[in-house]
Amino acid sequence: MKKKLLILGAMAMHLELIKRAREIGFYVITCDYIPENPGHKIADEAHFDSTTDLNAVLELAKKCQIDAIMTYNSDPAAVTVAYVAEKLGLPGNPYQSVKVMSEKDLFRDFLRKNDLNVPAFSSFSEVDAVVSGTKDFQFPVIVKPVDSSGSKGVTLVMEHAAIRAAAVTAIQKSRAGRIVVEEYIEPVGRQLHGDGFVNDGKLEFLCLGDHYFDVAMNNFVPYSTAYPTAHSPEVFTRCKDEIQEFISKVGFKNGGINVELRVSKRDGKVYIIDIGARNGGNFTPKIIEYATGFNFLDRAIKVAAGEAIPAYSEPMDCRYYSHLILHSDRDGIFKRLNLSDELEKRIVERHIYPVPGEQICKFDGANNALGVLIMRYKDRADMEWIISNFNSLYSVEFAE
């Protein structure tokens, strides 16, 4: 009899996971609140509870008598996975560890209490408290919901006079109604971003690239990560050491992680900006597999099923790859995307989301992406030129 695997999420980014799990013999059950998501159509069974509803998913897991549960690129779903796994005695990471990694106020507080590098910060749940509690802050600061993903509700605030509007936006985007206001870390070079894999508490694999942001859209919504990072091997080692120290102290044991880090121009320290208890979105693990050969997918499924996996010790040779997130600078009715020859000849995979006639929105959060291109380059100069000129290499047509 096939083992039952409950996968939280059925978006386009989950399709390969669902297909692979079925290929290797699992009965796959998908769950999220959007019946139209494509993953539901290829699963053995589909349900439509919210992936953030802990008790609803727990009851579903009991009813379906699952053997394993996992997600692949969702912070909110990662918390639910850990909760259900702990309640049912299934393989998984400690619920409290994942909760710390998924809620930014708990995460920052954990860093501070465990003597890890952390920017100055305070957490709030009321707008008036934010206004009064930040009068003595050194600006600029970042205002962010504690539990949103995809940079939704995140604002760079340059002066105290703008703090109220940013706080209102952030609280509205937070399911828990809590926000963090923290020191802005001006980076040396670009922000680092990538995925790693933890096996029995050890960070055995890590691939980092460089984040690119469309500042005309939003300072905190990246449109590309370029692999490998242009930062030095010494910086990479310091990043890996900081992540490993956090992983050891928080008690995360097995599975993929998605990380963002900055090297501070002020003090030269490496700061973990975010570390998710799951692999990254926008096909990050797939891009890294193209670049390095490391297969996150099979290892993630095996970890979810409680299967032992051999330690990974192969040297990493990272080739030049990136993703490019197609996006619009305004709302409208989608007609088509036009890609230049310069893009076309470098595309390895394309994933286009809207169909003609569909309403699309300005790119102010990762959820408003129009699609993702996975790109291959001949060298770093080729990669940097394409990414830096990306917005001039495609166009979005709107219906009249």
Q: Where are the alpha helices (DSSP H) in 174-227?
A: none
Ramachandran angles phi, psi of 268, nearest 5°: 75, 5
What is the 3 state secondary structure string of 222-252? Answer: EEEEEECCCCCHHHHHHHHHHHHHHHHHHCC
Chain position carrying tokens 């699963």 = 43
Give the tokens for residue 32.
Answer: 């999220």
Instruction: Determine the Cα–Cα distance for residues 327 and 349; give it in Å rounded to an integer.
Output: 17
Give the tokens for residue 346.
Answer: 């470098």
Q: How many helices (H) and strands (E) does the chain have?
A: 13, 19
Q: How many CA atoms lie within 13 A of 80 on its CB side?
A: 29
Instruction: Determine the Cα–Cα distance for residues 283 and 274; give it in Å rounded to an integer.
Output: 18
3-state secondary structure of 160: helix
Give the tokens for residue 200.
Answer: 């029995």
Rounded to 5°, angle at Cα 35 from 148 and 66: 80
Q: Which part of the chain has CATH 3.40.50.20?
A: 4-90
pLDDT at residue 312, rounded to an integer = 87
CB count within 10 Å of CB 356 equals: 10
Q: Where are the alpha helices (DSSP H) in the chain?
A: 15-23, 39-42, 54-64, 75-88, 95-102, 104-113, 127-133, 163-173, 233-250, 284-292, 296-304, 341-344, 380-388
For residue 214, give the nearest of 398, 397, 392 by alpha carbon: 392
Is the pTM higher than 0.85? yes
Instruction: Determine the Cα–Cα distance for residues 190 and 188; give it in Å rounded to an integer.
Output: 7
Tens place of pLDDT for every residue, the chain, 400 residues? 899 999 999 998 899 999 999 999 999 999 999 999 999 999 999 999 999 999 999 999 999 999 999 998 877 899 999 999 999 999 999 999 999 999 999 999 999 999 999 999 999 999 999 999 999 899 999 999 998 776 778 999 999 999 999 999 999 999 889 999 999 999 999 999 999 999 999 999 999 999 999 877 666 789 999 999 999 999 999 999 999 999 999 999 999 999 999 999 999 999 999 999 999 989 999 999 999 999 999 999 999 999 988 888 777 789 999 999 999 999 999 999 999 999 999 999 999 999 999 999 998 877 899 999 999 999 999 999 999 999 999 999 999 7
CA distances from 103 to 38, 83, 180, 255, 277 (A): 28, 14, 10, 18, 11
* CATH architecture group of domain 4-90: 3-Layer(aba) Sandwich (3.40)
Is residue 157 within 8 A of residue 183, CB to CB? The reply is: no
Q: Which part of the chain has CATH 3.30.470.20?
A: 192-398
For residue 282, give the nearest of 149, 380, 103 by alpha carbon: 149
3-state secondary structure of 35: coil
Residues in CB range of 53: below 8 A, 6 or more apart = 80
Is residue 203 within 8 A of residue 248, CB to CB? The reply is: no
Topology of the domain covering 120-183: Dna Ligase; domain 1 (3.30.1490)
Instruction: Determine the Cα–Cα distance for residues 227 and 219; give it in Å rounded to an integer.
Output: 21
CB count within 10 Å of CB 24 equals: 12
Q: Which part of the chain has CATH 3.30.1490.20?
A: 120-183
Question: Domain spanning 192-398: which CATH class is it, in words?
Answer: alpha beta
pLDDT in tens, 24-37: 999 999 999 999 99
Instruction: Determine the Cα–Cα distance for residues 81 and 101; give it in Å rounded to an integer.
Output: 13
Is residue 257 within 8 A of residue 196, CB to CB? The reply is: yes
pLDDT in tens, 219-274: 678 999 999 999 999 999 999 999 999 999 999 999 999 999 999 999 999 999 99
Ramachandran angles phi, psi of 266, nearest 5°: -75, -45
